[in-house]
């Protein structure tokens, strides 16, 4: 994806809906060029084209979230994959960095069993590997393509794993790591009980925002892998909380 598409995604994240002619003017390119970029984003299922406008499909859409800050997320995923051993059984929660981790694992590891509540991730890597993929059952949230509810806990209780990789929507110095959705937050808590170590994968900008639902798993989180734009104060705060920040 070119840099112009990344800029378009950033603008859509801020404004949700943009006039095509205004977008061309802002980026100083022709409307024909912008339409080609929007065609590509629409093909990927990230934007919806309307007459003279473009808008995001949904902020919950994992395909959009993968494309947004793709290079940073890919580096985070590559570093996270180094923590996984061949033959391991691990848990991966729904999220864009987590989806890229699953992809990197298919390219670098052998004989893994991946437990996930993400229908998106299970589908994303289905033709790329012979890993065993176990989808934890539950109530389907179609926009995020994730399973939630008490069945997630019931399924997860059949396993115990060394690593659980998860994403976040925000961070608060008062409440710790946060999520936008209460049912997805509960799914994280339920899965967290079944892992030795929790590892957060997130781009650094998430630390500038706080969502409404505390994950309440901060005491179990041992490692945060994020990009090098994390500010020094937050780095120190994580360390003081007993968390090892890894910057890529």
- Whether residue 11 lies inside any domain: the answer is yes
- Whether residue 66 lies inside any domain: the answer is no
pLDDT in tens, 27-65: 999 999 999 999 888 887 778 888 888 887 766 678 778
Q: Given a cut of 90, is residue 242 above it in pLDDT?
A: yes
Same domain, 12 and 93: no
Q: What are phi and psi of 192, to 5 degrees?
A: -60, -30
Answer yes or no: are the C-beta atoms of 39 and 33 closer than 8 Å.
no
Q: How many CB atoms lie within 10 A of CB 229?
A: 11
**Mean pLDDT value across residues 14-38:** 89
Same domain, 35 and 145: no
What is the number of domains present in the chain?
2
Examine the fold and report which residue of 34, 57, 80 is the final residue of a domain before the chain moves on. 57
Mean of per-residue pLDDT scores for the chain: 92
- Whether residue 62 lies inside any domain: the answer is no
- Whether residue 198 lies inside any domain: the answer is yes
Same domain, 158 and 223: yes
| pTM listed for this prediction | 0.85
Same domain, 182 and 147: yes
Strands of 132-135's sheet in order across: 132-135, 113-116, 89-92, 161-166, 195-201, 221-226, 244-247
Q: What is the per-residue pLDDT for 120?
A: 93
Q: How many CB atoms lie within 10 A of CB 8?
A: 25
Same domain, 82 and 50: no
Same domain, 228 and 141: yes
- Whether residue 181 lies inside any domain: the answer is yes
Q: What is the per-residue pLDDT for 15?
A: 80
Same domain, 52 and 137: no
**Mean pLDDT value across residues 156-176:** 95
**Mean pLDDT value across residues 162-166:** 98
Same domain, 159 and 206: yes
pLDDT in tens, 97-131: 999 999 999 999 999 999 999 999 999 999 888 89
Same domain, 32 and 142: no
**Mean pLDDT value across residues 11-26:** 86
Q: Which two tokens stand for residue 43?
A: 């093909």
Domain boundaries, position 96: 71-247
**Mean pLDDT value across residues 17-27:** 90
CATH of the domain at 22: 1.10.10.10
- Whether residue 110 lies inside any domain: the answer is yes
CATH of the domain at 159: 3.40.50.1360
Q: What is the per-residue pLDDT for 83?
A: 98
Q: Can you list the positions of beta strands (E) in the chain?
A: 17-19, 47-50, 53-56, 89-92, 113-116, 132-135, 139-141, 146-148, 161-166, 170-172, 176-179, 195-201, 213-214, 221-226, 244-247
1 — pLDDT class (breaks 50, 70, 90): low
Same domain, 102 and 148: yes
Same domain, 49 and 89: no
Answer yes or no: are the C-beta atoms of 165 and 98 closer than 8 Å.
yes
Distance, CA of 21 to CA of 156 (rounded, Å): 49
Same domain, 238 and 116: yes
Answer yes or no: are the C-beta atoms of 223 and 242 closer than 8 Å.
no
Q: Given a cut of 80, is residue 77 above it in pLDDT?
A: yes
Residues in the chain: 248
- Whether residue 64 lies inside any domain: the answer is no
DSSP H or E stretch at residue 41: helix 31-43
- Whether residue 162 lies inside any domain: the answer is yes
Q: Return the SS3 of 125.
A: coil
């Amino acid at each position: 994806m070119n840099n112009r598409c990344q800029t378009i995604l950033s603008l859509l994240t801020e404004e949700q809906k943009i006039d095509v002619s205004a977008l061309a003017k802002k980026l100083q390119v022709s409307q024909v060029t912008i339409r080609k970029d929007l065609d590509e984003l629409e093909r990927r299922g990230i934007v919806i084209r309307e007459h003279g406008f473009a808008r995001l499909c949904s902020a919950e859409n994992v395909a959009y979230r993968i494309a947004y800050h793709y290079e940073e997320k890919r580096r985070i995923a590559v570093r996270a994959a180094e923590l996984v051993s061949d033959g391991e059984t691990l848990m991966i929660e729904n999220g864009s960095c987590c989806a890229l981790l699953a992809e990197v694992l298919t390219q670098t590891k052998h004989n893994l069993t991946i437990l996930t509540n993400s229908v998106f991730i299970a589908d994303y890597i289905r033709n790329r590997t012979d890993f065993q993929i176990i989808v934890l059952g539950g109530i389907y949230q179609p926009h995020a393509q994730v399973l939630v509810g008490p069945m997630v806990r019931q399924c997860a209780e059949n396993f115990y794993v060394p690593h659980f990789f998860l994403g976040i929507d925000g961070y608060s110095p008062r409440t710790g790591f946060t999520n936008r959705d209460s049912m997805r937050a509960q799914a994280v808590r339920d899965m967290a009980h079944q892992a030795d170590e929790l590892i957060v994968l997130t781009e650094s900008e998430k630390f500038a925002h706080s969502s409404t639902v505390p994950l309440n798993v901060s005491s179990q989180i041992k490692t945060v892998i994020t990009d090098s734009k994390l500010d020094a104060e937050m780095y120190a705060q994580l360390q003081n909380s007993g968390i090892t920040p890894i910057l890529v």
